[in-house]
């Protein structure tokens, strides 16, 4: 069985995705393997053609404490065409321990930050009987995620 896994996000511009997701997740950009100064240098050393590497090759994020799921933004030639079958939920509230209106206000603050970072609001979901509120968002390449 695997002793490591990462979540791979297909995208057109990995460095832009790193820039978008890093502040949302509070993740770090890991250093490339020694002795390489950049990920681009490392990719070239393992035989990836230069034309397939965007910028300095920065294309991944890791949790700062080493706990959690690493993300790799894999470059692909095609744009996203259909709805995600898997998405991230980013908890920006205290959950149901907080009143729903307070959670909605906290989510709205996060929505504004996502919009400022180049993301998009797809829709709000509010279910009063279930005491649920969330915002469905999209990153700059259209990958959906929820703010809860």
pLDDT digits (tens, 9 = 90+) for 5-24: 899 999 999 999 999 999 99
**Mean model confidence pLDDT for the chain:** 93
CA–CA gap between residue 28 and residue 12 (Å, rounded): 21
Residue 58: pLDDT band (50, 70, 90) is very high
Quote the radius of gyration of the chain (alpha carbons, Å): 17
pLDDT in the model for residue 3: 76
Residue 103: pLDDT band (50, 70, 90) is very high
User: pLDDT at residue 79 above 90?
Assistant: no
Mean pLDDT of 102-131: 95
pLDDT in the model for residue 130: 86
Residues 6+ positions from 21 with CB-CB distance below 8 Å: 27, 61, 71, 139
Residue 4: pLDDT band (50, 70, 90) is confident
CA–CA gap between residue 39 and residue 57 (Å, rounded): 5
Mean pLDDT of 48-73: 93
Mean pLDDT of 83-102: 92
pLDDT in the model for residue 1: 78
Q: Which residue has the higher pLDDT, 76 or 28?
A: 28
Mean pLDDT of 18-43: 96
pLDDT in the model for residue 84: 85
pLDDT in the model for residue 73: 95
The H or E element that residue 90 is part of is: strand 88-90
């Amino acid at each position: 069985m695997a002793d490591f896994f990462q979540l791979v996000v297909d995208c057109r511009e990995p460095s832009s995705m790193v820039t978008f997701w890093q502040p949302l997740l509070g993740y770090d950009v890991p250093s490339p393997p020694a002795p390489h100064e950049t990920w681009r240098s490392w990719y070239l050393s393992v035989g990836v053609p230069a034309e397939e590497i965007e910028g300095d090759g920065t294309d991944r994020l890791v949790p700062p404490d080493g706990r959690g799921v690493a993300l790799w933004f894999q470059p692909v030639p095609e744009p996203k065409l259909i709805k995600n079958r898997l998405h991230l939920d980013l908890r920006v509230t205290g959950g149901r321990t907080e009143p729903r209106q307070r959670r909605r206000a906290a989510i709205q603050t996060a929505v504004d930050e996502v919009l400022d970072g180049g993301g998009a609001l797809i829709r709000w979901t509010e279910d009063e009987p279930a005491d649920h509120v969330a915002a469905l968002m999209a990153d700059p390449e259209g990958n959906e995620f929820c703010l809860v």
